[in-house]
Chains A and B, each alone.
Chain A
Amino acid sequence: MNMNEIPEALCQKLRIKIVSSLVSSSKTFNELLDLTQTTKGNLSVQLMKLEEWQYITSDKIIENKKTKTTYTITDHGMTQFEEYVALLKKIIEESVG
């Protein structure tokens, strides 16, 4: 990945936060809401986009008569994220000299 190839999924800070928080483990909607400190509407839109781009998958379960959605990062999402972090590292190293 180079600077011109940064995918749209990782061009927005909230989406970067979502993907970063899913690296360690799957998270529920409420958990992501707590971690990203954004609105429900905004989070829903970004999650839908990430799912469309196949960066994450969602899994709905019914718990105590309530629907609980769990989000997990896909292999594709993980690869793209790792390449993105490597690119950021390279940019910083080059700027330092």
Chain B
Amino acid sequence: MNTTANEAIENINIIKSTMDESKISYKGLYKLCLTFGICNIVLTLASYLSVILVFNTPVRTEFLTFSTVLIHILSFAVPMSAYILICKTEKKYNNRFYLSIIDTWAVISILLPVFRIIISLIQYNMIDKGLLPMTDPAYLYLVNSGDLSGAILFLMIIIIYSNISRKPYIKIIGVFIMFVRMFFSMVELSYMSGTTDYETLMKFPGYEVYTTLSGIFAFLVSGIGYIIIGVLIKKRVEATSAGKES
């Protein structure tokens, strides 16, 4: 076969474009990260806002119930809708490794809010009504498992990003963040953001008036942290497809 220079260029172009197209885009992953991060920020701010507004509304109980139910529903409905939409477009890639990453991560991120709803229901129906002590081992186990699952979920996405970007030290940062989160949970430093008035608190049992340091850290990680990881994955994918792989 006599391959001319033009044919060689044409064939090189075919090879290059096919290889570019066959790469995993990770679009679904960074879209999930961004959705999850924005959802966490909006819902956390909404829950704080409802805490402030509840004292200024004549229908306090109804408002509190409505806002709590709405926030809980949205906390799993938004990631679930995003997952369904993203999966529709990503399924065609058929890369089992990539799809299993999205599946595992999305299932945990959808189950986590459901888990929190169960904890809230137990708190509302049993703890607040005095049917179960706050120190009940089963209840504490559920609360701790929820916190730990959130931390592991974030560690998971950091490890995935570390592998995509081929920067192993990012895994160490992920582990460090997890340890900091656990440390804050242990020391339980907190500041007051609502009221300590006993009578008001009696009217609204289970009403959060303290913000713990671990709570702020969890908010930063699960909100801003996911957005940062999402943006980093997006940048990495764009750099790779532009041939700037380091």
Contact = CB atoms under 8 A, between A and B. Distances in A.
Contact of B1 (A6, A22, A25, A89): A6
Contacts of B12: 85, 88-89, 92
Interface string B83-113: 0000000001111010000000000000000
Interface residues of B, number: 22
Q: Which of A11, A36, A88, A92 has the most CB of B within 10 A?
A: A88
Given A25-B95, A27-B94, A35-B22, A17 B8 contact: no
A71 to B, nearest CB: 11
B18 A92 contact: no
A20 interface: yes
A3 B97 CA distance: 38
B14 interface: yes
Nearest to B92: A34
A24 B94 contact: no
A6 B8 CA distance: 12
A31 B8 contact: no
B14 A13 contact: yes
A21 B19 contact: yes
Given A20-B15, A92-B9, A35 B1 contact: no
Contacts of B1: 3-4, 6, 11
Contacts of A28: 94
Nearest to A92: B8
Contacts of A13: 11, 14
A61 B166 CA distance: 31
A3 B8 CA distance: 11
A60 B3 CA distance: 36
B5 interface: yes
B15 A31 contact: no
Given A88-B8, A92-B5, A95-B5, 10 more contacts: A3-B1, A4-B1, A6-B3, A16-B15, A21-B18, A25-B22, A27-B22, A31-B94, A85-B12, A92-B12
Interface of B: 1-5, 8-9, 11-12, 14-15, 18-19, 21-24, 92-95, 97
5 contacts: A16-B15, A17-B14, A28-B94, A31-B94, A91-B5
Interface of A: 3-4, 6, 11, 13, 16-17, 20-25, 27-28, 30-31, 34-36, 85, 87-89, 91-92, 94-95
